[in-house]
Amino acid sequence: MASSTARRAGTWARSVAAGAGSLLLVACSRAPEPGTVLDEARLAGRSGASFTHASEPYFRDMDNGVALTPQEEAGRNMWLVWSGGNDRFWEQMTQYTYGAFDLLKVISSHPSLGYSRSNRWSYLGLVNEPCFEPAQAADKAHRGLWLDRRRQDCAPDPFADEKKYPGVAIGSRGQPLGDGSVQPVGSFYGEPTGIMGLRLFPNPAFDAKAAQAWDAERYYTDPSYYNRKDLVRPYRVGMSCGFCHVGPSPIHPPADPNNPAYVNLSSSVGAQYMWVDRLFIHNAARPEGQANYMYQLAHTYRPGAMDTSLVSTDSINNPRTMNAVYDFASRLAVGKLLWHEQLAGGELDNRQLNDLFPTGPLSEFYDKAGAIARTPHVLKDGADSVGLLGALNRVYLNIGLFSEEWLLHFNPVLGGKTITPIRIADAQKNSSYWQATEAGTPATALFFLKAAQPDRLKDAPGGAALLTADAARLERGRTVFAETCARCHSSKGPTPPAELALEPRACAGAGYLDCFRRYWKWTQSDDYKAQMRRVVQAPDFLKDNYLSTEARIPVTLLRTNACSPLATNALGGNIWDNFSSSDYKALPSVGTITVQDPYTAEPSPYAMPAGGRGYTRVPSLISAWSTGPLLLNNSLGPFDTDPSVAARVKVFDASIEQLLWPEKRERDSLLGDRVPGTIDRTTQRSQITIPFGYLPESLQPLQDKARHWLHEHLPQWVDETGGLTLGPIPKGVPVNLLANIKLRSESSDPAVIATHAKDAAEAIIKLKLDLLGAPREADDAELTRRLANLKKPLLALSKCPDFVVNRGHYFGTAEFNRTEGLSADERAWGTEPVLGDEDKRALIAFLKTL
């Protein structure tokens, strides 16, 4: 019976694939060509200059109450409320995730959702905007949505002023809807939603027909209604940069994180408490939500971390922390001194600071004659390396600005299409929103130069009592820091000897790794350590110190999880090609690393590719006491929703102990001590679900008539509503075994491409049929057994076969000196002194002062 069912399933699946393929070919044949599309603003006749950036000091109490000029205020406002038309993109994201991700539900408080303003912080980790109160009922003024209400004792939000900041009149905006109402045009900043960083915009597709079909109650409660692909919502939600960067101030924390005042908020500390899995899966609190494999994937994003390449997917799951932004001035100084990056081609289209500041200090970060950017390294792999303004501008594209163009270059979320670069020149020509963004980000840079100052524990309420009073221990901690940490985590240090030949241009691009090897060997010498001790002991050591060199550290030395260093988005010819320097693209391979089988722990070599991959940029240790858990993916230490000073220090203490005592790190549920950490595995049986309403329209009539038969005979493929399900995927499967499958070959060799396509198709079909052939009552053990024979082909297709997420950064520990099972490239960095327990505790005491 199982085999005949499998044969019928295979026939049915091929029919589905054929129909979907035909539909895709038709869609592709009609798709516009990159570089030819206009954004909504340009289509509506708006120029970039028509978007005047607001300078009202509305957020004056934020960021420790720093006094700002009108230009700096405009920069902060842009960071917090400007979304640049990306409400169009976030509306489409609901389609790309088959209804799982829905920002209009995120901002809502309908009782069926299980979250509201009263628990939004603890459940979602989102920052409630001051001046609002919880929804008590459907809002008739907003089509029956359950939205936070603005308090009457607060002045109006100035950015929602449609007369001063007129929105883009396109589609139904400004048009009658046939029910006596008129669809608003709104402000180009949108309305506040009660959540920092999310703004509400009238949906230009919501016309008279959509208004007649709209039912707010069913939108919240009826899956057959809200999972309709043709459902038009009355509003779209836009996202500003502040959504991922605003958080509770470490030194002015709110008494109640659900009810902060502006004085309790920081624009630059990062969304350290955001639960991205719950954010992206609107019903994550329910069993059916957690049975969605998309939830299992997003659940690998620990609070405060997310995969920034989730949408423009590189088929590598690599969640990374949402950075705190501190001390721009010192960070720029590091770039000016050390990181001189060659630009060419489309990289030259990035704006530079000296375009706007032709004289003075800000004019010194770009050599126009040589096309050399003296620049910080942004993103975890140091890929954003074309100048500060280029890095800021790229962020807006990544959160959906000019989605008309951006989405032509890849298949969102699912991948499977060759990614091509989005060209800055096309955005400058065809997107008024991009033009307005380029005009505004210099003010944002000026804002950060003044406002993004360190948050010292000594300045926090009760913080002084949490610092050591033992002067001898603190002094010993300084020494340990100088000898062990400062070579990477200080922007002040001794001048390298001339014979090391560490001149910035010679050490860029192809020459970088050899230079770094020479530098590292010098830092292991007694001479370096003696000089560094004097630097650290100076009274002004922390003044203007970014506490990072921003160097790109080879993963063979760092030995942290390799999935982030393997990211491909900034490589030559990929989506962010124009935003990474030519020197980044010329970086050599770091060599071979050791990875371990997620079922047997057997080690195997993995050769890291060249061209930019293989490195991790050194994070700053400024205010490290407030930023636990640790590592680039927040995998070291516990998580606590409490943003108080005491809770932050408690989390930091536990996290830094796991860093310095690796034996205290979480171990894998299956392999235990056989691997040096934990592997992210599915927490329960799950499946990939495509609701009936999101199936191709050409298939829906057939599927509708046969849904009951299909569900009865193929329950692993079709649910009771007629939706397509792929699975089941048993509990305990390494998430990245499936998430990191390379769907397309990265080679230009036709033979290699053909072989990869054949291998990928065979593996995926075998995966489906092996699971489908299982009895309905099969338990997870049986399903796991059926998957066992697929491990080898899936690993062969993996873009990152590294599964242990909390390994590495073993400096000062005995684990650094272990050689067993390591590659020659990992052993080549030599050995390091092992810190005793008292030295480690002294180091922790010193780190709390940073």
Look at the pTM and tell me if it is higher than 0.75.
Answer: yes
Q: Distance between CA 511 and CA 139 in Å, rounded?
A: 61
Instruction: Report the DSSP pairing between strands 686-690 and 724-729.
Output: antiparallel
Q: Distance between CA 211 and CA 128 in Å, rounded?
A: 30
Q: Which of 205-214, 285-294, 361-370, 808-817 has the lowest mean pLDDT?
A: 285-294
Q: Amino acid letter at 389?
A: L
Confidence at residue 293, expressed as pLDDT on a 0 to 100 scale: 85
In the predicted model, is pLDDT for residue 609 greater than 90? yes
Contact 813, 662 (CB under 8 A): yes
Confidence at residue 668, expressed as pLDDT on a 0 to 100 scale: 97
When pLDDT is cut at 50, 70 and 90, the band that residue 21 belongs to is very low
In the predicted model, is pLDDT for residue 773 greater than 80? no
Confidence at residue 302, expressed as pLDDT on a 0 to 100 scale: 96
Contact 351, 440 (CB under 8 A): no
Give the mean pLDDT of 179-207. 97
Q: What is the DSSP letter of 8?
A: H
Q: Which of 451-460, 583-592, 699-708 has the lowest mean pLDDT?
A: 699-708
Residue 510 Cα distances to 506, 515, 586, 588, angstroms: 9, 10, 5, 6
In the predicted model, is pLDDT for residue 23 greater than 60? no
In the predicted model, is pLDDT for residue 721 greater than 70? no
Which residues does 426 contact at the CB level (< 8 Å), separation at least 6?
Answer: 34, 35, 405
Give me the half-sphere count of Cα atoms (radius 13 Å) on the Cβ side of residue 657. 10
The 10s digit of each residue's pLDDT in 246-297 is: 999 999 999 999 999 999 999 999 999 999 999 988 788 888 788 888 889 9
In the predicted model, is pLDDT for residue 722 greater than 90? no
When pLDDT is cut at 50, 70 and 90, the band that residue 473 belongs to is very high
Instruction: Report the DSSP pairing between strands 603-607 and 372-374.
Output: unpaired
CA-based Rg of the chain, rounded to a whole angstrom? 27
Confidence at residue 835, expressed as pLDDT on a 0 to 100 scale: 98
In the predicted model, is pLDDT for residue 680 greater than 50? yes
The 10s digit of each residue's pLDDT in 409-462 is: 988 887 777 899 999 999 999 999 999 999 999 999 999 999 999 999 999 999
Which residues does 210 contact at the CB level (< 8 Å), separation at least 6?
Answer: 172, 203, 232, 234
Q: Which of 30-39, 361-370, 674-683 has the lowest mean pLDDT?
A: 30-39
Confidence at residue 474, expressed as pLDDT on a 0 to 100 scale: 97
**Residue from 124, 89, 82, 132 nearest 105 by CA:** 124
Helix ranges restricted to H, 192-317: 208-213, 216-221, 223-226, 276-280, 287-290, 293-298
Q: Distance between CA 765 and CA 818 in Å, rounded?
A: 41
Percent of the chain with pLDDT over 90: 77
Q: Distance between CA 515 and CA 520 in Å, rounded?
A: 9
Give the mean pLDDT of 286-311. 88
When pLDDT is cut at 50, 70 and 90, the band that residue 508 belongs to is very high
Give the mean pLDDT of 295-301. 92
Give the mean pLDDT of 652-679. 97
132 DSSP β-pair partners: 150
For residue 432, give the H/E element and its range. Answer: helix 432-451
Confidence at residue 12, expressed as pLDDT on a 0 to 100 scale: 33
Q: Distance between CA 741 and CA 317 in Å, rounded?
A: 10
Cβ neighbours of 820 (radius 10 Å): 6
Q: Which of 4-8, 756-760, 811-815 has the lowest mean pLDDT?
A: 4-8
Contact 201, 178 (CB under 8 A): no
Confidence at residue 714, expressed as pLDDT on a 0 to 100 scale: 59
